[in-house]
Amino acid sequence: MEDSIIKTEYSELMQKSYIDYAMSVIIARALPDFRDGLKPVQRRTLYDMSALGIYSDRPYRKSARIVGDTMGKYHPHGDTSIYDCLVVMAQDFKKALPLVDGHGNFGNIEGDGAAAMRYTEARLQKITEEAFLADLDKDVVDFIPNFDETEKEPSVLPVRIPHFLINGSEGIAVGMATSTPPHNLGEVIDAEIALLDDPDLTDTDLMRFVPGPDFPTGGEVVNRDDLKEIYETGTGRIKIRGKVEVEKGKAGRTNVVITEIPYTMIGAGIGKFLSDVAQLSESKLTQDIVDITNQSSKEGIRIVIELRRDANVENFKNLLYRKTRLEDTFGVNMLGILNGKPETLGLKDILKASIDFQYETNRRKYTNLLKHEQEKREVQEGLIKACNVIDLIIEILRGSTDRAMAKKCLVEGETAGIRFRSRESEIMASQLLFTERQADAILEMRLYRLIGLEINALLKEHEQTVANIYRYEDILEEKSSMTQVIRQELLSFRKNYAVPRKTLIKQAEEARFTVEAPKEHDVLFVMDRFGYAKLLDPASLERNRDAIESEYRYYFICRSSGKICLFTDKGNLHTFKVSDLPEVKLRDKGVPVDNISNFSSDSEHVILAASQKDLNLYRLLFASRNGFVKMVDGGEFDVTRKTVAATKLADGDLLADVAVNTGAAFVVMRTAQGYMLKVRADDIPVMKKTAAGVHGIKLVKGDELDSAWLTGDNSNSIIMIKDRPFDTQGLKTAGRGTRGSKIRL
């Protein structure tokens, strides 16, 4: 066989291949069918459970068995997608009408996943059997080959309720996505019945029955005026809010309690909400939050936010709506498969698609039932006729040599070869002319059917069969009769399975809030040697002075509206707002200053922390390890940038000390080798922060300045060296730039 080369345009081949792939994903994977509201994986899972006989009145079966059977027979796309589908169909917080009865850990509303499929069990819900699978044996839908043509599966389930709207759907295909909110079963059925009775109803008319979506999590839809356009076009955005209640808390405080959440918050959204609420306090958007706790349980959602006594509750609720997912948007795109193509439909068109499907399935159902009853009537009439001439039938049977001979006599009147008692019997036998089906029934009839009561039962059964045939013919011939059948079925489902609406529909104003300026007050700033800082009540300083002095390297009173200045050994000044720190209790943990400033504990060390407002009143003493000193006006450090150079340092030099000069008379310097020098503070020149300074102490080779102090006379002359007090009054005052004296401690 010779090789043949087919030349084709690469772009055309890629385009065709991609379109084929996209349509496969759209039709066979991602989008639901408007007729039954199911995606292929859902349809196949439910059908497989039905085939396995896992009904609501039978024991649960392992989910792994269901998943494996579905994957092996109908859906060869991996076990994860099938199990995820099974789990979602069992979750009452995701589905308005759960189709699967799950047993075991099937996850929860807070986002915890279901247990592995080997641990959970499932079976069908009763409504799934009645409304989705009941008529599969009546040839009401087409069956198609499965992926390897070894099994048959329904192309669509004969769903008898408008399921597309009731449970909604979400799915992402290639270039398109579907997102339909769930609705209340009773309301949707009422709308479908109304459309059955009056096909001229508009979308607006139908909204008298379906005012809006009904989410399993409850909550509130707050843009009622937009729903009309959404239901007319099939697309739009629904604003949903959680349900908020106000309760009295402890000590006269107010508790804001979230008892229902937006549908979009299911799962990780709850944890994100709690984090966002905490962030509101940290970012100072509100000062009202005292505490937040998640008290949710199997009984329902309960998130409690404790507010201060004087909090503006309405303003705080609006803040939650604007800054958290307590108010969220549900994007609507009611896209599904209609006549083999993806379509976006409005409310009326979706209900009409369901009604048309009901007419089609009922037509096929009653055509099948009529055929069955007609066959049944044929057999019954043959048995009744046979009972009337039972002696002749027995004579034919006894006179025949085999079944074929007897049947030929019953059907065709052929009497050759049959021994009759009389010529009259033979003539009567030639005139019987039963049908094939009647002859088979007569030949298989048991003798007990000849009992008088059995004959009477056969006559009554025949009467019922005739009545059924008349009824089925009427349903098939008269559209009004068919409509009444569909109507009664819908009313039955409404009576047995309708539940009250959970979601409130209203038109609310856009949430607006005001950010109140935080009240300025005094706070106690504390920072430990590890760089963790926090704010305390100033009164705690007197109550816990010993603990604060021993545990914290820096502490001072400052204003809540001020800034904190950190001077480092690299000569840098880092600033941050006091309000960036949490106001907590003494034993609560602070936050690393690395997190709220440009300071990095890995590359530099803090040598002074001070309030920027206090620095404006005084001068600062700078002393470097190379022995350079200077005074700088504190006002130079009133900067807006978070990081600036606090002083100029030579290469290799570091700051040894920075001290606030509140009116000291002397400056005492000490080197690493123990030399100490006391000079008058007035001898240290006042310079700009960009200056390097002047020689403060003369260093011997290999020595460096270790520390510098600002001291006064009398009690102000005591300094601490290596945690031991030292009185500087014993030091002689010398000139700046000299070596000083070596002091042994």
Q: What is the mean pLDDT of the segment spanning 690-694?
A: 93
Q: Residue 387 above 90 pLDDT?
A: no
Q: What is the mean pLDDT of the segment spanning 590-606?
A: 91
| Residue 321 appears among annotated catalytic residues | no
CB of 332 closer than 8 Å to CB of 344: no
Tokens of 118: 């080997």
The dihedral of CA 389, 390, 394, 395: what is its sign?
negative
For 514-580, give the DSSP string.
--PPPPP-EEEEEE-TTSEEEEE-THHHHHTHHHHHHH-SEEEEEETTSEEEEEETTSEEEEEEGGG
Measure the CA–CA gap between 667 and 621, rounded to whole angstroms.
9
Q: What is the mean pLDDT of the segment spanning 727-737?
A: 89
Q: Predicted confidence band at 687 (pLDDT cuts at 50, 70, 90)?
A: very high
**pLDDT tens digits along 116-172:** 999 999 999 999 999 999 999 889 999 999 988 899 999 999 999 999 999 998 877
Give the burial string for 128-145 (b: 16+ CB within 10 Å, else e).
bbbbbbbbbebebbeeee
> In sequence order, which residues have a C-beta less than 8 Å from that of residue 107 and are 6 or more positions away?
87, 91, 113, 114
Q: For the chain, which domains are there?
A: 38-130+144-154 (3.90.199.10), 243-325 (3.30.1360.40), 360-497 (1.10.268.10), 522-742 (2.120.10.90)
Q: Predicted confidence band at 700 (pLDDT cuts at 50, 70, 90)?
A: very high
Provide the pLDDT for residue 359. Answer: 96
3-state class (DSSP) for residue 226:
helix
Q: Minimum mean pLDDT among 315-324, 407-416, 549-558: which range?
A: 407-416
Enter the pTM of the model.
Answer: 0.74
3-state class (DSSP) for residue 174:
coil
Provide the pLDDT for residue 627. Answer: 95
**pLDDT tens digits along 492-518:** 999 999 999 999 999 988 888 777 666
**pLDDT tens digits along 211-267:** 999 999 999 999 999 999 999 999 999 999 999 999 988 878 899 999 999 999 998
Q: What is the mean pLDDT of the segment spanning 406-417?
A: 83
Provide the pLDDT for residue 19. Answer: 62
More confident residue, 13 or 20: 13
- The catalytic position among 119, 470, 497, 618 is 119
Provide the pLDDT for residue 281. Answer: 82
**pLDDT tens digits along 174-220:** 667 889 999 999 999 999 999 999 999 999 999 999 999 999 999 99
Q: What is the mean pLDDT of the segment spanning 540-566?
A: 91
Arithmetic mean of pLDDT over the chain: 90
Provide the pLDDT for residue 177. Answer: 81
Q: What is the mean pLDDT of the segment spanning 506-533?
A: 86
Q: What is the mean pLDDT of the segment spanning 397-419?
A: 84
More confident residue, 89 or 744: 89
Which of 597, 583, 697, 707 is closest to 643 using CA atoms?
Answer: 597
> In sequence order, which residues have a C-beta less than 8 Å from that of residue 629 and are 6 or more positions away?
621, 622, 623, 667, 669, 684, 693, 694, 695, 696, 697, 708, 736
Q: How many Cβ atoms from other residues are within 10 Å of residue 187's Cβ?
A: 23
Provide the pLDDT for residue 158. Answer: 95
Q: What is the mean pLDDT of the segment spanning 40-61?
A: 95
Which of 422, 438, 329 is closest to 381 using CA atoms?
Answer: 438
Q: Predicted confidence band at 58 (pLDDT cuts at 50, 70, 90)?
A: very high
More confident residue, 403 or 26: 403
More confident residue, 620 or 583: 620
Measure the CA–CA gap between 628 and 199, rounded to whole angstroms.
95
Q: Residue 21 above 60 pLDDT?
A: no
Measure the CA–CA gap between 688 and 632, rounded to whole angstroms.
6
> In sequence order, which residues have a C-beta less than 8 Å from that of residue 318 and are 6 or more positions away?
511, 512, 513
- In the chain, the amino acid numbered 334 is M
- In the chain, the amino acid numbered 227 is L
Provide the pLDDT for residue 86. Answer: 96
Provide the pLDDT for residue 29. Answer: 63
Q: What is the mean pLDDT of the segment spanning 721-744?
A: 88
Q: How many Cβ atoms from other residues are within 10 Å of residue 256's Cβ?
A: 23
Measure the CA–CA gap between 10 and 313, rounded to whole angstroms.
65
Q: What is the mean pLDDT of the segment spanning 442-457?
A: 74
Tokens of 258: 């979230």
The alpha carbon torsion through 275, 281, 283, 286 (nearest 10 deg) reads: 130
Provide the pLDDT for residue 432. Answer: 84
Provide the pLDDT for residue 173. Answer: 67
For 107-153, give the DSSP string.
--TTSPPPPPTTT-EEEE-HHHHHHHSTTGGGT-S-EEE-TTSSSEE
Q: Side by side, which strands form the sheet with 220-221?
A: 169-172, 177-180, 327-333, 235-241, 220-221, 504-505
Provide the pLDDT for residue 199. Answer: 94
Provide the pLDDT for residue 729. Answer: 87
Percentage of the residues of the chain whose pLDDT score is greater than 70: 95
**pLDDT tens digits along 609-657:** 999 988 988 999 999 999 999 999 999 999 989 999 999 999 999 999 9
Provide the pLDDT for residue 49. Answer: 96
For 294-322, give the DSSP string.
E--BTTB--EEEEE-TT--HHHHHHHHHH
Q: Residue 533 above 80 pLDDT?
A: yes
3-state class (DSSP) for residue 228:
helix
Q: Residue 1 above 60 pLDDT?
A: no
Name the DSSP letter for residue 732.
P
The dihedral of CA 335, 336, 339, 340: what is its sign?
positive
3-state class (DSSP) for residue 645:
strand
The helix (run of H) or strand (run of E) holding residue 369 is: helix 347-388
Q: Predicted confidence band at 310 (pLDDT cuts at 50, 70, 90)?
A: confident
* Angle subtended by helix axes 347-388 and 390-399, to nearest 10: 80
